[in-house]
Amino acid sequence: MSEGIVAKLDDARIVYFVGGTDTGKTTLIGELARTLSVRKPVALLDLDVGQSHIGPPTTLGLSVLEEPFTTWEDAPTTRLYFVGSTSPDRHLLQTVAGARLLLDECAGRTVLVDSPGYVLGGPAEALQAHLIELLRPDCVVAIATSDELAPILRRFERLATPRIVRLKPSDKIVKKTPEQRAQYRRQCYARYFRGSRLVRIGLDTVVLIPGCTEIAKSLVGLRTETGRDEAVGIVEASDPAVRQLLVRTPLPGGISVRVILGGSIRLDEEYGEIW
């Protein structure tokens, strides 16, 4: 599917891919990244918090490619932004803010944006439209079986930019069941927390952003004084007597946490999600 659109995207700096779940957005972006990254600087912006390929689920991820793209598994994680859920429907503002902040770190690169598969209904349409307005892509690649993206695209059809390229999903795409999606997230969490360490964080030294920040097994974002989300952690224990949290995280040593961001997901011992 990629051969026919490479020429259409060659002069675009920001390309936004929109489509429902199992329409092949991520596969197509990978094919294009493989082609484009051998001849120009490329960055990948992953906004799919539920089926993340850059960083763990619950986060937006940025990969600035310093080498030609090979596979999503080998793409480096340059930056994260903690949203706090595996669906953007209850975290629309975090999704929009994080997307803009990560894009700002991509100067001088062609950016391929993998948007959430959340496209149906009023809140989803508003999210997609406002992401497009804020990220200001040169091109929107819309992958749809019928006219399900019409409420989103019609806002831009009479504008000079973005240019809209419409595609049908590949017939090679295999639909995933909810169980398969949940299993994929468990694998992503397990991979992310492999080799993590326990860190004691004094509550008097941080700001807690509302959410399940002090509940055992809650996923939290760890933000440093630079304002960047450097890692995700799992709250293992809270000790009110000494005002400390015990957090398991792959955050490197020597980095001080200044803000702990609460989310809406907890994990069991096998990285299954507890809602």
Distance, CA of 95 to CA of 66 (rounded, Å): 26
Percent of the chain exceeding pLDDT 70 equals 98
The pLDDT confidence band at residue 2, using thresholds 50, 70 and 90, is low
| CATH classification of the domain holding 269 | 2.40.30
Residue 55: partners with Cβ closer than 8 Å, 6 or more residues away: 46, 61, 77, 80, 192, 232
- Are 211 and 104 members of one domain? no
Segment 84-88 shows an average pLDDT of: 94
Looking at 167, 186, 210, which one is the last position of a domain? 167
Looking at 113, 147, 167, which one is the last position of a domain? 167
Phi-psi domain of 254 (left: phi exceeds 0; alpha: psi -120 through 50; beta: other): left
For the stretch 147-199, pLDDT in tens is 999 999 999 999 999 999 999 998 888 889 999 999 999 999 999 999 999 99
For the stretch 207-257, pLDDT in tens is 999 878 888 999 999 999 999 999 999 999 988 888 999 999 999 988 999
- Are 67 and 144 members of one domain? yes
> For residue 81, is it within any domain?
yes
Ordered DSSP codes for 157-196: TTSSSSEEEEEPPPTTPPPPPHHHHHHHHHHHHHHHHTT-
Q: Are 78 and 12 within 8 A, CB to CB?
A: no
C-alpha separations of 163 from 5, 9, 17, 166, 198 in Å? 12, 10, 12, 10, 48
- Are 94 and 220 members of one domain? no
> For residue 109, is it within any domain?
yes
- Are 10 and 118 members of one domain? yes
Residue 5: the pLDDT is 72
Distance, CA of 77 to CA of 15 (rounded, Å): 19
Judge whether residue 274 has pLDDT over 70. yes
| Burial of 246 from C-beta contacts in 10 A (0-12 / 13-18 / 19+) | middle
- Single pTM value for the model: 0.94
- Are 163 and 117 members of one domain? yes
> For residue 182, is it within any domain?
no
Judge whether residue 39 has pLDDT over 50. yes
Segment 48-75 shows an average pLDDT of: 96
Average pLDDT value for the chain = 93
| CATH classification of the domain holding 133 | 3.40.50.300
Range of the domain at 155: 6-167
Q: Are 265 and 86 within 8 A, CB to CB?
A: yes
Residue 1: the pLDDT is 47
- Are 95 and 131 members of one domain? yes
Of the listed ranges 75-79, 134-138, 207-211, the one predicted with least confidence:
207-211
Looking at 167, 186, 211, which one is the last position of a domain? 167
Q: Count structural domains, the chain.
A: 2
